[in-house]
Structure 1
Amino acid sequence: MIGLIEYNWQVRDEWLDWCEMLSTEQLYAEQTGGAGSILYTLFHIVEVENSWLRAVQNKQDVPYIFEDYSSLDEVKALSNTLRKEHALFLRTDLDAVLNQYVQVSWDNQIYQAKDILHHLIIHEVHHIGQLSIWARQMNKQPIESHYVGRQLKRVEEYI
């Protein structure tokens, strides 16, 4: 599971770097079939990951507001800052956590931690697919999404 999280982090960084070639209008243009704009989608990925991972750690949710992180540099910085905190957690013994039950502040249901981690992986991959479609609609080459052959940066390297 950690390998897929590392994959998501690497691909997210590549998408954030890819965005540097876009105009402000392209970054903020409302897209069809997604969370909103390209930049908002990347922010959304970071914010959702943070909320769920804090819940798994039994920490209070700290919601972030897009208007406070509404530039590409701010979204990159937020992603990097939160990732350091999450990398510290993920390098612990996850086996001890995976079967624990988690209650989140925004939902009445109780979830197993392993299901939350699976959700996070799928959530980001889903949005990566949307970003790829939007890139092609702009006649731009999307980030390669393949897993095989990637030299993944390990969780420990983010600390």
Structure 2
Amino acid sequence: MKLLFEYNWQVRNEWFEWCSHVPNEVLIHKRIGGAGSILHTFFHIVDTELSWIRAIEGKPDIAPQFSDYNSLAQVVQFSKDSNEEIKDFILSWSTELERKTVMPSWMENESFTAGEILRHIIAHEIHHIGQLSIWSRELELKPVSSNFIGRGL
């Protein structure tokens, strides 16, 4: 799973680079699917990852608001800060944590295993990257490659 997180982070950073060549109006334009816009979808990806990892670690959810991250630079910084907070946890993952019961603070009477949460986080980001690829093609721009092969992971 560690490699899939590294893959997601690598692809995310390549998308951020892609976004740096696109006007802000395009990044915030309301779209069908995702979280409503390219920029908001990236915010949602980072927020979801951070919230779930904090839940596994028994930390409170921060619940940031997208209105506080309304530029690409702010979302990129949010992603960097989030990665700094959770990277050690992800890279030190062990199978002993697989069955740890987690009760997220934002869900009443629901529990999940840490292992299923990690797999959800990975799939969640890959799902949204597919949406970004479609939006990229609608803009007649080349999307970031989603290939795992050839990334040196």
Match of 2:114 in 1: 113
Q: CA deviation at 1:25?
A: 1.1
Separation in 2, partners of 1:47, 1:125: 15
Contact kept in structure 1, 2:34 and 2:131, CA below 8 Å: yes
Match of 2:75 in 1: 75
Match of 2:151 in 1: 150
Match of 1:36 in 2: 36
Separation in 2, partners of 1:6, 1:93: 13
Q: Which runs of 5+ in 2 are unaligned?
A: none
Q: Which runs of 5+ in 1 are unaligned?
A: 153-159
Separation in 1, partners of 2:66, 2:106: 18
Partner letter of residue 53 of structure 1? I
Are 1:51 and 2:51 counterparts? yes
Partner letter of residue 140 of structure 1? L
Q: CA deviation at 1:94?
A: 2.3
Q: CA deviation at 1:103?
A: 0.1
Give the match's secondary structure for 2:102.
strand
Q: CA deviation at 1:93?
A: 4.2
Give the match's secondary structure for 1:5.
helix
Separation in 1, partners of 2:35, 2:61: 20
Separation in 2, partners of 1:93, 1:80: 20
Q: CA deviation at 1:96?
A: 2.2
Match of 1:126 in 2: 127
Normalising by structure 1, what TM-score? 0.92
Match of 2:103 in 1: 103
Separation in 1, partners of 2:41, 2:93: 31
Give the match's secondary structure for 2:86.
helix
Match of 2:23 in 1: 23
> 1:94-121 deviations in whole A, cap 9, x for unaligned?
2221110000011121000000000000
Give the match's secondary structure for 1:55.
helix
Are 1:7 and 2:11 counterparts? no
Match of 1:156 in 2: none
Separation in 2, partners of 1:68, 1:93: 31
Give the match's secondary structure for 2:20.
helix
Match of 1:136 in 2: 137
Partner letter of residue 145 of structure 2? E
Partner letter of residue 132 of structure 1? S
Separation in 1, partners of 2:51, 2:113: 15
